[in-house]
Structure 1
Amino acid sequence: MPVIAIDGPTASGKGTIATRLAAELGWHVLDSGALYRLTALACLRRGIGAADVAAAAAAARGLDVRFGARIYLEGEDVTDAIRDEAVGDLASRVAALQPVRDALLARQRAFREPAGLVADGRDMGTVVFPDADLKVFLVASARARAERRYKQLIEKGFSANLDTLLRDLEARDARDAQRASAPLVAAPDALKLDSSDLTIDQTVAQVLAWWRARSA
């Protein structure tokens, strides 16, 4: 089945773009970041820190999750809870652990079903789907990403500080790029797209144009 892999740093708009693309194409969508956030939420609730590698990996393997219009963990709607900044910070830390990544790899690949899949994350084109038909590396300036995340959090009723978000994003960028396991890096055959000054519609249109040219 065809796969469009969209990788990029935190808050670059990967999830929004992937969801829109999947809707346009009639394909499935994989928000791989949600799996790591779910693992982080499960760890937080069980008092598991990133230093406890075995326990974190066990939490990842045993995730009782259900995806749909909303995301459920052990029967509870956690769609909004996994977007909390504390969950995101721990998700970035546990995502650096190879046993956790190994535990989630097969679950991610299982999303590849007819008629196709749009997968977003940090290693979709390099590790999870290295044979993806189209690979996009979506970037945006740290300031633009912090402003987007700030707006999202405020709209959902969370308190947020723009300067704090900017510092956190820059720290996560460094952590994701420098980790030994599946670091955030563009695949050699990925097309880079800077969305700092693009609307969602413009970004989606560009990726669709690339896909149509590729599939033609």
Structure 2
Amino acid sequence: MVVTLDGPAGVGKSTVAARAARETGFRYANSGSFYRAISRAVLDAGIDPTRQDLVLETARRCLFTLKGGDLLVDGRPARGLQNDLIDRWSPVHSGIPELRAIVNQNLREISLTGDLIVEGRDMGTVAFPDAELKFFLDASLEARAARRFSQGVSGLSREDLRRRIEERDKLDRDKPVGALARAADAIYLDTSVLTIEEVCAKVVQEIRKRKSTGSQYNELRTEKKP
């Protein structure tokens, strides 16, 4: 079973997805971490981050796997993905259509090996349009900036973070491929008026309900076999 969580930056997707995965026994994949890991690999190698051909070459060489709740790149945990430099280049790289195709293919291959909760911007619309359960998380710009500031991973002021998130929103919505969008069949949750615990409880409840319905359907199919 695949569960998708989409939404703009700072709405709590990563926290909710990780907690829901722990509570349901699903594996968890943060699609943004794939792009960030690629951007870091490019920067660490001293490659010009504006060279799309070299960025794509780097991405094709990366071997992505999941182990527990960790993303592994070439067998090593992907660490240090949250900093201002990666924040600058990851949105640019994730806007490359060929790169999105590479990441989405990796995610689809990972989904074939067991239940998966995956979060991002276009998981329910592009990567997994046939996912069994979809959510779209949203929040006000002010609430998202406050959350990012409280995380303490950026040296930017709250107002600068607000402007950067606003710029990121525009970039995500204007992408020619994989633009931020709410799937028509996604459950909408406004996290600016709900606590993380409340959002997670709603997500887990829907997953268990859908899993239970699926199990009952499979049992009925088995009983009807001649």
TM > 0.5: yes
User: How far has the Cα of 1:198 moved from its partner?
Assistant: 1.4
Equivalent residue, structure 2, for 1:197: 193
Equivalent residue, structure 2, for 1:121: 120
RMSD: 2.1
Alignment of 1:1-216 (within 5 A): 2-64=1-63, 67-68=66-67, 73=73, 78-79=78-79, 81-113=80-112, 115-153=114-152, 159-215=155-211, 216=213
Per-residue CA distance 1:52-99 (angstroms, 9 max, x = gap) = 2111111111125565455555676652x2111220221111000011
Number of aligned residue pairs? 211
Contact 2:43–2:49 (CA<8 Å) still a contact in 1? Answer: no
Normalising by structure 1, what TM-score?
A: 0.88
Query: Structure 1 stretches of 5 or more lacking a match?
Result: none
CA distance in 1, matches of 2:36, 2:160: 20
Contact 2:136–2:188 (CA<8 Å) still a contact in 1? Answer: yes
SS of 1:110's partner is: helix
Percent of aligned pairs sharing the same letter: 33
Q: Structure 1 37/207 Cα, relative in aligned 2: closer, same or farther at 3 Å? A: same
Query: Structure 2 stretches of 5 or more lacking a match?
Result: 214-226
User: How far has the Cα of 1:111 moved from its partner?
Assistant: 1.9
Greater Rg, structure 1 or structure 2?
2
Q: Structure 1 55/131 Cα, relative in aligned 2: closer, same or farther at 3 Å? A: same
CA distance in 2, matches of 1:103, 1:186: 22
Contact 2:33–2:81 (CA<8 Å) still a contact in 1? Answer: yes
Normalising by structure 2, what TM-score?
A: 0.85
CA distance in 1, matches of 2:51, 2:141: 30
Q: Structure 1 210/119 Cα, relative in aligned 2: closer, same or farther at 3 Å? A: same
CA distance in 2, matches of 1:86, 1:184: 22
CA distance in 1, matches of 2:70, 2:3: 23
